[in-house]
C-alpha cells in the first residue's frame, strides 16, 4: 500500500505525462506536493521505483514511466464523447509513455574554433533535446574561439557531434590533427592534402597531409546558453 504522498506523486506524474508527454521536473513535483526540498521528492521516487510503480528511463533527464496504478486507486473518468459520435466504435485509449525529450550525451572538454587545442580532455554529460539529434552515437564539445562565427558557431557554444570517421567535402567536422590536437572546421580535400577551412575571414585555412588528419565526427547541431 502506498502512502498518501506516494499516491499523490504517482498521480501527478501520470497526469503530466498524459497532458504533455513529458515527465515533470523535480522542482514541479516538489511544488505540487508542497514539499520543503527536492530530497523528499527523491525519496518518494525511489520508493515508487522499488515497489514497481514507476521506472526511470536510462540516459534521459526528466524521463519517468508509470508502470501501474495502486489497486485502491479511484477509477479514472472515461473520456467524454460527443452525442453525435455514437455511430462507430470508440477509439481505444493507450497508456501514455514518457516522451524521449531529453538525452544525456558525453561532454568531452573544449574544442578550438581557432588554432587547434586539446579536446576530449575530460568527460561529463550534457542533456540535449532529442529533436536535435538523429540516429547514431553523439557527443558534445564546448567551443573555444571565434574562427567559425560566420557559420553561426560562437565561443561558448556546445557543438553536438555525430561520431563518424568519414565526412564529405564542405561538412563541418571535428578533425584530430597529428593525433594530438582537435579543431572544428570545414573539411576540404585537395589531392593527397586536407584543408581545414575556418568561417572567419581573419583566419587562414590550415593545410595538412591526409595522413595527419583524422575525422572524429561531424557537426549535428548546436546548443547555446544565454546568461
Q: What is the pLDDT of residues 190-216, one digit of tens each?
A: 889 999 999 999 999 999 999 999 999
> Domain residue spans in the chain?
4-74, 102-223
Q: What is the pLDDT of residues 127-153, one digit of tens each?
A: 888 777 777 888 899 898 899 999 999
Residue 147 is among the residues annotated as catalytic for this protein: yes
The architecture CATH gives domain 102-223: Ribbon (2.10)
Among 30, 162, 185, 218, which one carries the catalytic annotation?
A: 185
Among 144, 147, 162, 218, which one carries the catalytic annotation?
A: 147
Res. 71: pLDDT tops 90: no
CATH code, 4-74: 1.10.10.10
pTM for the predicted model, two decimal places:
0.55
- In which band, very low, low, confident or very high, does the pLDDT at 76 lie, cut at 50, 70 and 90? very low
Residue 185 is among the residues annotated as catalytic for this protein: yes
Give whole-number Cα distances, 6 to 10, 35, 128, in Å. Answer: 6, 12, 29
**123-132, long-range: CB < 8 A, 24+ apart:** 126/158, 126/223, 127/61, 127/102, 127/103, 128/102, 128/103, 128/104, 128/160, 128/221, 128/223, 129/101, 129/102, 129/103, 130/100, 130/101, 130/102, 130/103, 132/160, 132/220, 132/221, 132/223
Residue 73 is predicted with a pLDDT of 54
Residue 79 is predicted with a pLDDT of 38
Amino acid at each position: 500500500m502506498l502512502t498518501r504522498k506516494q499516491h499523490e506523486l504517482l498521480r501527478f506524474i501520470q497526469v503530466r505525462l498524459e497532458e504533455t508527454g513529458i515527465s515533470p521536473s523535480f522542482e514541479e513535483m516538489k511544488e505540487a506536493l508542497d514539499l520543503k526540498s527536492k530530497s523528499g521528492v527523491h525519496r518518494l521516487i525511489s520508493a515508487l521505483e522499488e515497489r514497481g510503480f514507476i521506472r526511470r528511463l536510462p540516459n534521459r533527464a526528466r524521463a519517468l514511466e508509470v508502470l501501474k496504478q495502486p489497486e485502491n486507486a479511484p477509477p479514472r473518468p472515461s473520456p467524454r464523447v460527443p452525442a453525435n459520435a455514437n455511430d462507430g466504435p470508440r477509439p481505444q485509449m493507450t497508456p501514455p509513455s514518457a516522451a524521449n525529450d531529453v538525452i544525456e550525451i558525453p561532454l568531452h572538454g573544449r574544442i578550438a574554433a581557432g588554432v587547434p587545442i586539446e579536446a576530449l580532455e575530460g568527460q561529463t554529460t550534457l542533456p540535449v533535446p532529442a529533436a536535435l539529434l538523429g540516429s547514431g552515437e553523439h557527443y558534445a564539445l564546448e567551443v573555444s574561439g571565434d574562427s567559425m562565427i560566420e557559420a553561426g558557431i560562437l565561443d561558448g557554444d556546445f557543438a553536438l557531434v555525430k561520431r563518424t570517421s568519414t565526412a564529405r567535402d564542405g561538412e563541418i567536422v571535428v578533425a584530430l590533427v597529428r593525433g594530438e590536437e582537435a579543431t572544428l572546421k570545414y573539411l576540404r580535400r585537395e589531392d593527397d592534402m586536407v584543408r581545414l577551412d575556418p568561417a572567419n575571414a581573419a583566419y587562414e585555412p590550415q593545410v595538412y597531409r591526409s595522413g595527419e588528419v583524422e575525422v572524429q565526427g561531424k557537426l549535428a547541431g548546436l546548443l547555446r546558453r544565454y546568461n
